[in-house]
Structure 1
């Protein structure tokens, strides 16, 4: 829920580029936490390897996109 509220604030022009970059930094940290939890769940065999591989691929893709967007925002 916070993501959508913050995104709406940024799109509405009520925050600076620096604020949005900070939000993306926090989002990236959350993605890394999620990756850690996923790896723990996989190690404990809470899901199939196929499911783990697909989820991990998606999380890493999201991390790359957030990192790229943050880099673009900071370069402006």
Structure 2
């Protein structure tokens, strides 16, 4: 399992944005301009431990349909 310590970056890489760690979530977190809430903190933690899972809308709809059928 990779950890944040497995990433080899120089200060120049960080200054120039030349890193590719969790790119979707990094972009989302970098663009935030709002107060922190629990959801943002959770996303930061998932980013840090490299456990963020991006699920597309179709998959979410299917999961919710399953839950609806179970609940009815």
TM-score, normalised relative to structure 2: 0.32
Which structure features the higher share of helix residues? 1
TM-score, normalised relative to structure 1: 0.31
